[in-house]
Amino acid sequence: MSCPDCFKGAVLDGEPTGSIDSSTGAYFAPGPEGNTSRAVLLFTDIFGLGLKNPKIMADNFAKHLECDVWVPDFFLGKPPVSPDAMKMPDPGQKVSMLRLFWTLLPHLPSLIRQRPSVADHRFIEKLKSEKKYTRLGAVGYCFGGSMCVRFGGSGLLDSIVICHPGNFSQKDLNAISIPCSWACAEEDFTFSPETRANTEKCLKAREGKNNFVDYEFKDYKGTVHGFAARPNLEIPEVKEGFEQAFEQTVNWFNKTIPSEDISVVAVVATLSYLPKDLSCEAYANSERSADSVPRFEISTSSRHEALVEMTFLHQFDAEDSGGSTDTDEGVTIPPLASVAPTIRDLEVTWA
């Protein structure tokens, strides 16, 4: 079931710069050419691609995340509600159940036919197969938020952001097996304060268990259901909520599905930083014990500059370590290119 605010909102300024993919009907906002390390799906509300908002948002996500963004057309060109039916939002407005019934009545057949529980998953499978993306995230709004919850346990995605979702089942919530971020409206007929509290309680109850997943909840004061997808930017609190929810999404994907050319997720060997002409074998057999070999982790300060951060298992002399300190950890080496010749047998695994 949808809520009255599902039919409210405003059209964003600007025009889309992406294109419609001829084979799938999806909107495509390209990231940098050749970047297949990750991609993001944007699941729309019930206005589908009939409203330009999701296209403009996809363009902005592609720019800020530097990756491909796809907006599937799960309604096959026939969204349940046309943009002409959209009413402007009014935070704080109370809508009677009778008004809600008459608002929903003309759209019930289409809403039932396209409910999240029957949404086609073949688009995602096709995308992963043909595009060879390493990681795939999805952000969903309203109807699309419910889809994110459902696909969160499908094994098809690696991370999700759920914005003021529609209804979803307890079974689907319990099945979520990937990191999930929630952007919540202050007033939401569907994702009510009680539902929101229960959702967080269920995820928190997993802490310390094998089925625990990383999660976060952010609440946006002065907003109603739909604010992150169809904001009235003339209302200061709504504008702020829209912008912060966008930033929340970008930050979450950068954290949970980082691009391969931006960061190394894990280093899986006990490796040596060799400021002198020593092999790994000679180093291990030198005055230092094998336990003293430092570990390496790769992080980045920008897209084109990787830093090597050394964490020592034991203290080293500054001269031996090649660093600027002999403390246990926190030694930061200049850009990777300048120290790469001194690193032997560096093995990296991409999560």
- Complete DSSP assignment for 264-289: --EE-S--EE-SSS--HHHHHTSSS-
| Distance from the first to the final alpha carbon of the chain | 37
Give 57's contacts (C-beta < 8 A, 6+ positions apart): 12, 42, 229, 246
d(CA 47, CA 83): 6
d(CA 49, CA 27): 8
Exposed/middle/buried for residue 291 (C-beta within 10 Å: 0-12, 13-18, 19+): exposed
Sheet containing 215-224: give its strands across: 19-20, 27-29, 68-71, 38-43, 135-141, 159-163, 180-187, 215-224
Which of 15-24, 34-43, 105-114, 142-151 is least confident?
Answer: 105-114
User: What CATH topology corresponds to 4-256?
Assistant: Rossmann fold (3.40.50)
Sign of the four-CA dihedral 121, 242, 103, 193? positive
Give 62's contacts (C-beta < 8 A, 6+ positions apart): 18, 29, 30, 31, 68, 69
Which of 105-114, 201-210, 237-246, 292-301 is least confident?
Answer: 292-301
pLDDT at residue 342 tops 50: no
Tokens of 7: 């039919």
Q: Where do you find CATH 3.40.50.1820 in the chain? A: 4-256
Tell me the angle at which helices 53-65 and 236-256 cross, rounded to the nearest 10 degrees: 50
Banded model confidence at residue 308, pLDDT cuts 50, 70, 90: very low
Give the pLDDT confidence of 163-222 residue by residue, as tens digits.
999 999 999 999 999 999 999 999 998 999 999 999 999 999 999 999 999 999 999 999
**Identity of the amino acid at 246:** F
pLDDT at residue 313 tops 50: no
